[in-house]
Chains A and B, each alone.
Chain A
């Protein structure tokens, strides 16, 4: 398997793309945001809430990691993902616009939103939380450019079975988001809102 080289610039570019995309989602009609293609699926707001929950677990872990990471003067460089982490990341990464290995969401990552009472105010809160979380992620990636990221590992949200160096963690989160952006495209494509 070819090595996976991670660079903060590539990650920032992809994160900006996702943030821009979510900004455009904010312009959609309420019905487009709250209608799921079928009873088992999530609607767009639920997908975003799921991403907020997922990042909420990493946010304090990233903050803690930064208290321990030494600075470097040599400037940003690429980071080679380790083999097990590469497999975990590949499990999330969409390939050619397709979500591979669809998996059941663990209970603690499920967006527990009451679809009946999803008011515009509640939806705004979900969007605002998304932008706050992902501004934090952007800042974390930017800060990593002058830190020695080989010094601290963080435990993943699914437990010690997977740990990440920071660039691996960012890549995992980005692939997870890219996966869900694709899901949003699918929701928009599948949802028939004509009456």
Chain B
């Protein structure tokens, strides 16, 4: 991992203060993984081996419904965490797929090393508290949007807040995330500019 990538990674843990030696050790726990577009980073049915931090690219996390259709649950992108977190923590086969929608570069830490961070440095508990709080609030916010907003409102709200790199992924993934048909998404995109 180069210095710039490490700076991005460190910025993801603002609550954690490490000495130079500790920082060196922390860095050694992460390995760089690269994926081609459409690679499956995590397969449903396999246990998630890593917690990821995204350096480049966009990834979608999705589940297959009874008809075998992809239902997109979320995206990860530069600067965000990624992975099938429930499977990673529970060490059980994942229900979800994680797919690279763009060529992706990520850094990954194993479960054992992730756990060791908490054991060796109590600062990581403060990070964990903040991290899980953000995840929970994000999921609650999304649930409210899905249950209360019209398709057009969901489209508008999403396009206003999502990063630019997400706007160029295949439409079918965005449409699924917003719980609408690709045709509806396409019509809304053609009729509005946000």
Contacts and interface: CB of A to CB of B under 8 A. Distances in A.
Interface in A25-78: 75-76
Interface stretch (B10-18, B42-50, B73-81, B132-140): B42-50
A9 interface: yes
Given A9-B64, A9-B70, A10-B64, A75 B38 contact: yes
Interface residues of B, number: 14
Contacts of B45: 12-17, 19-20
A16 B93 CA distance: 9
Contacts of A15: 45
A146 B38 contact: yes
Contacts of A5: 67-68
Contacts of B46: 16
B43 A16 contact: yes
B97 A75 contact: no
B179 to A, nearest CB: 19
A75 B64 CA distance: 17
Interface in B27-53: 37-38, 40, 43-46
B163 interface: no
A75 B68 contact: no
Given A12-B43, A13-B43, A16-B46, A145 B68 contact: no
A145 B97 CA distance: 14
B170 interface: yes
Contacts of B44: 9, 12-13, 16
Given A5-B68, A9-B70, A142 B93 contact: no
Nearest to A78: B68
A145 B38 contact: yes
A10 B65 CA distance: 9
Interface in A59-100: 75-76
Interface of B: 37-38, 40, 43-46, 64, 67-68, 70, 93, 97, 170
Counting from the closest, the 10 A-B pairs by CB-CB distance are A16-B45, A10-B68, A13-B44, A75-B38, A13-B45, A17-B45, A12-B43, A7-B68, A16-B46, A10-B64
